[in-house]
């Protein structure tokens, strides 16, 4: 089975071809960073227009790279949400058009399911496993039992962890995109220089909170005079490192509670996956690997290029669904919001992001 995957839910236009033997035959990611940089973040209208401008060419390029024609495909997978709705519509409509024109089955893929199953593409992992999904829009702990079978143990009650990285980068004048910039700056920093809060650490349950940490970074920057001028390089590095250490502590603490919930439900399970854009961070990978080991779990993290948004994970989710006979109609809707576990209880105090 060979499937074309299309991803357009945020600021990456991505197309890939993947086969059911887990071979990635082409994987193209066109970042719109330069188009959004002047605004310090993703502008939805600019993103949607850029997807329109680049997607057709990228599909042709990916097909050529894979040495495949449309007649070689067994299906088309496109992200149908959640995400910036204009961009999602561009990718989903393109996927539908290709499916209709070549009489191929369509998989309207949940972007979060793409991240959730990415470790099965990279490492061939079996179900069930515990998943920490950390990205620009999400921070969730889920038990993954099968394709389409997700139980959410916890989520963020305010900001997503990637959002906290991006906002911290902005406050420190490190630019956009923020996650990699904070990680780079933190490399020369002293993580003990600034004392920052660890929201919800030590508390029961698996929910997260990052807005207090973000505010603490803001007050620290302000106190140091960094809101009116650029902080000295070492101070920026120390604050970036202190922030990253606080995030690591919180993620490890909350995931620690999730290991216990996973054991209660699946006593023999010992796989833990960390996925999503923030999982590209080396320090977080190392710290989470340690805490997994201490709890008797073995951690799998897809390579960084499969953690940040990409078309291969969407093509793979398409393969998983289509090979189980789960195909979608050509009027499948684009969705701005689409939870993986529709039965999950609302997080206490959760706002619109839920």
What residues line the site for ligand KG4 (CB under 6 A)? 10, 135-137, 162, 165-166, 177-180, 183, 276-278, 280-281, 308-309
In the DSSP assignment, the letter for residue 254 is: H
Question: Out of ligand KG4, Zn ion, none, which partner does residue 137 contact, by CB within 5 to 8 A per kind?
Answer: ligand KG4
Question: 24-31 and 12-19 as β-strands: parallel, antiparallel, unpaired?
Answer: antiparallel
Q: How far is the CB of 12 from ligand KG4 (least distance, A)?
A: 7
Upper half-sphere CA count for residue 326 (Cβ side, 13 Å): 13
Angle, helices 233-265/178-186, rounded to nearest 10 degrees: 110
178 binds, among Zn ion, ligand KG4, none (CB under 5 to 8 A by kind): ligand KG4
| Partner that binds at residue 154, options Zn ion, ligand KG4, none, CB closer than 5 to 8 Å by kind | none
**Minimum gap (Å) between residue 134 Cβ and ligand KG4:** 8
CA angle 258, 149, 202 (to 5 degrees): 15
Among Zn ion, ligand KG4, none, partner that 113 touches (CB below 5 to 8 angstroms by kind): none
Judged by CB under 5 A, the number of residues near Zn ion is: 2
For residues 155 and 208, the answer to whether their CB atoms sit within 8 Å is yes
Which listed residue (12, 166, 238, 309) binds Zn ion by CB under 5 A? 309
Toward ligand KG4, which CB reaches closer, 11 or 19? 11
Q: Which is nearer to ligand KG4, 54 or 111 (CB)?
A: 111
Asked if residue 118 binds Zn ion (CB under 5 A), the reply is: no
Q: Closer to ligand KG4 at the Cβ: 165 or 259?
A: 165
253 binds, among ligand KG4, Zn ion, none (CB under 5 to 8 A by kind): none
From residue 80, how far is each of 92, 101, 106, 120 by CA, in Å?
A: 6, 19, 11, 21
Give the pairing type, strands 271-275 and 149-155: unpaired
Burial of 342 (0-12, 13-18, 19+ CB in 10 A): exposed
CA-based nearest residue to 136, from 12, 246, 233 = 12
Q: How far is the CB of 333 from Zn ion (least distance, A)?
A: 19
Which chain residues interact with Zn ion by CB under 5 A? Answer: 135, 309
């Amino acid at each position: 089975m060979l499937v074309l995957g299309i991803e357009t839910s945020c600021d990456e236009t991505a197309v890939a071809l993947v086969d059911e033997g887990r071979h990635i035959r082409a994987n193209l990611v066109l970042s719109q960073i330069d188009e959004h940089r002047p605004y310090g973040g993703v502008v939805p209208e600019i993103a949607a227009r850029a997807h329109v401008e680049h997607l057709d060419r990228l599909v042709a390029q990916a097909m050529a790279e894979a040495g495949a024609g449309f007649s070689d495909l067994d299906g088309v997978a496109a992200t149908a949400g959640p995400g910036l709705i204009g961009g999602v519509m561009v990718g989903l409509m393109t996927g539908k058009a290709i499916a209709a024109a070549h009489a191929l089955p369509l998989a309207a893929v949940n972007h979060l399911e793409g991240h959730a199953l990415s470790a099965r593409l990279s490492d061939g992992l079996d179900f069930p496993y515990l998943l920490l999904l950390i990205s620009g829009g999400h921070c969730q702990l889920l038990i993954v039992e099968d394709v389409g079978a997700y139980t959410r143990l916890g989520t963020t009650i305010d900001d997503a962890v990637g959002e906290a990285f991006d906002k911290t980068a902005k406050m420190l004048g490190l630019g956009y995109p923020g996650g990699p910039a904070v990680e780079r700056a933190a490399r020369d920093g002293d993580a003990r220089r600034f004392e920052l809060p660890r929201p919800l650490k030590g508390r029961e349950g698996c929910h997260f909170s990052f807005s207090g940490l973000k505010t603490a970074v803001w007050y620290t920057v302000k106190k140091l005079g960094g809101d009116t001028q650029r902080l000295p390089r070492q101070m920026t590095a120390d604050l970036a490192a202190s922030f990253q250490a606080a995030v690591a502590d919180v993620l490890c603490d909350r995931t620690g509670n999730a290991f216990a919930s996973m054991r209660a439900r699946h006593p023999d399970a010992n796989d833990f996956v960390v996925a999503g854009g923030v999982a590209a961070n080396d320090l977080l990978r190392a710290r989470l690997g340690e805490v997994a080991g201490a709890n008797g779990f073995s951690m799998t993290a897809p390579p960084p290029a499969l953690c940040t948004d990409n078309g291969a994970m969407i093509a793979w989710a398409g393969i998983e669904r289509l090979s189980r006979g789960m195909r979608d109609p050509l009027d499948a809707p684009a969705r701005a919001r689409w939870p993986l576990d529709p039965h999950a209880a609302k997080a206490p105090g959760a706002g619109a992001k839920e």
